[in-house]
A = this chain, B = another copy of it.
Amino acid sequence: MGRKREFDEEAVLAGAMMAFRRHGYAGLSVIELEAATQISAGSLYNAYGDKEGLYRAVFDFYFRKVIDPRIGAAQTLDDLEKVAIDLFNPPFSDGLGCLVTNAAVEFRNSAGTGGHFAGRGLDIIEAAALRAVRADMGDGNEPAALRIVLLYQGMLVLTRAGRLSNAYKDAVRAEFDRLRRQAKSTFPAIREQNAKGD
């Protein structure tokens, strides 16, 4: 019933995702979205209702493809360190930052769609940090987890400013090294116990 959709939805969302990461929401026009997605505004409106609907779909896509598998799935300090250090490697070194961080700054205080998704993303990041710290260091080190959240968000700000030099890579690595050292010395049993699980 009805004509088949001609465009590849994943490709459209991927293109729009790059464009929203680069320009933000307000800074990206529908005309630019036509170029980024290679489909006409008519099709965009037919498929997603309006610009905000596309933004929502892009955010869902971003959670599904980037946040959930990378951060939502992180269980250990090593996993989180990889997430952070990957900001220095392709494809994450493109300088466009994270849709979540960018939206948190663009849409203040959880207002509207952008703020809602930003909040959801920060929930996931916070939860991952707490999970990893508890797994590797035991309870009572929640402040270390929150500092990881702050470090990571700070990295994304500097990324966006084109200022995330290799000196920052060393600084972040050193922090994870320190946490792991502290984990081993203070709670030597915990990592062993983790290793046994599953």
Residues of A within 8 A of B (CB): 22, 24, 26-27, 95-97, 101-102, 104-106, 108-110, 115, 118-119, 122, 142-144, 146-147, 149-158, 160-163, 167-168, 170-172, 174-175
> Does the CB pair A150–B158 fall under 8 Å?
yes
Contacts A151-B150, A154-B153, A170-B143: A160 and B105 contacting too (C-beta < 8 A)?
Answer: yes
Contacts A24-B106, A105-B105: A146 and B168 contacting too (C-beta < 8 A)?
Answer: yes
Checking B143, B153, B174 against A171 with a beta-carbon cut-off of 8 angstroms, the contacting residue is B143
Closest CB-CB distance, A2 to chain B, in whole Å? 38
> Does the CB pair A171–B156 fall under 8 Å?
no
> Which residues of chain B are near A122, meaning CB under 8 Å?
158, 161, 163
